[in-house]
Structure 1
Amino acid sequence: MRLSVVVPVFNEQDVLPLFADRLRPVLDSLGGSYEVLAVDDGSSDATPAVLELMRRQWPQLRVVRLRRNSGHQNALTAGLHRARGQYVVSIDVDLQDPPEVIAEMLRLAESSGLDVVHGVRADRRTDSPFKRWTAGAYYRLVRRVAGAAVPANAGDFRLLSRTAVDALTGLPEHRPVYRLLVPWLGLPSGEVTYTRERRAAGRSKYPIAKMVRLAVDSITGFSAAPLRFATWLGCAGIVLCLLLAAGVLAAHLWGNVVPGWTSLFVAMVFLGALQLLCLGLLGEYVARIFTGLQGRPDYVVVFDSATVDQGARVAVRS
């Protein structure tokens, strides 16, 4: 099979028909065999019914359904583990990333022998100012933490070769952040720029809480810098406390002591906040160790249409 397209889906009943109307002509025009893996990430609306109807009308569509909402990155993982194509494209269903770019990605990968082709957002004017500001801050932060190899403004719209997919699925990651993991592999890569469009229908499934979670996973999963930051912050706190102690001692020797509790109160609050911050940073790493020791799966598949279709073909033959 030449191409697999992995599409995480969560409560997208309104946009799914629009997405299929744009994606299918692109894939049909490429030539060669392909499949589309729609990974239903525990949707609670009519998304499963819409996907089942689409599957009956689109033979290349394959539906993988997760038992519960496991998160965007884990839904991507489920799709990557089940993709069978020599090249695998991951794309969101909201049509902010245009499916027409897939043809350009595939041509670039095949003509230049690339294992990775990133979709880079050259124009984000359709995003809100807050979204652009937070995205810019995120990419500046992760480039500083994970290295300059991380393309700026490259999300999860990318093409991967079979070599890259096998390398990714072989990693023992419990909280994968693919926009950092893929550059970390160091495989030959290229970029295709495009203009980010408005969401075709529905509302964003990535609120501020999930954005913060992604940023925390990105930092704690790729760097020990927060631990070192806590160490340096503790050292700075100790130095500040020594300076305060020296100032209090000097005031006592000069007889310029003013009774009061302000300085003591400020020092106690500062040290308490410092301790809580350091404990919180340590807790993030301990939580990752705890999750790894548990060994629980990041997602649970309850339905894979490929298995159903294969069973139907066997029944017909017998």
Structure 2
Amino acid sequence: MSKSCASGILAALAYAGFSADHAYADGPFNFSPFSSSSSAASTPQQTASEPAKPPAQPSAAEPTRVRNDNPRTTSAGFDPEALERGVKALREITSSSHAKKVVKFGFFSFSILFVSLVAVERLKLEENWGCGFIRIYGILLVFEVIKKQEESRQQELTAKAAEFKAMQAQAEAEKQRVVYDEQKKLAQQQAQIKSQMARYEDELARKRMQAENEHQRARNQELVKMQEESAMRQEAARRATEEQIQAQRRQTEREKAEIERETIRVRALAEAEEEPMKPSLQRMLTEEC
């Protein structure tokens, strides 16, 4: 498909390059810059086999053509519109989407095609062959410029692709570095959190043990205090009991002494009462005996 597109574009280009009017001369024309085996061989055969025909008389309707002795330097033998059309066609080719296909078709294929076109065109060019050669050579140069531009564009695209790959590799490396840094930071944070949790658990265990020790100490102190208070109460009770016993003993001793004194008093009274009655009692006892 690319070859058909290129052929169509070349046909349009050739039509644009060779559709200009040319100035003709009377004598035959030999195109020395480009030699073709088929065309060069056919021309002598035609001249040898066919007799020389007299030049055709110009008709009255056709205007008299002016011979151009300097086709390369004067404006009479050079038609710039053809070259402008060729350049315009080349610009359309380069701006179209088939420019790469046309360049890929090959510069030498274009050269062969244009040489063939020159071989056909030289039958028409007569003395104005220089203008056609200039147009063809200019078109070839334009195609060479297009090829160079395409090569430079391909090199630029390759350089951009390499740069893009390098940037992509750098971005990937940067991404990997960022991921590694994030993972490293995360690992450090996890280790820090784990260390903080271990310290917090140790602190909690230490505080819990300290609280238990304080509670045990307070309980022990409370038990000691309770024991001391119990001992004090027991001692107070013992003292109170002992004092009570002593008081009862003293009371008993006092009562006993009182009883003894009372007994002695009563005995003394009884003896005192019995003393006057003693002779009578003895007399009564004796009487009874």
Q: With structure 2 as the length reference, what TM-score do the two structures score?
A: 0.23
Name the one with the larger strand percent.
1
Larger helix percent: 2
Could you state the TM-score of these two structures normalised by the residue count of structure 1?
Answer: 0.21
Query: Which protein is bigger by CA-based radius of gyration?
Result: 2
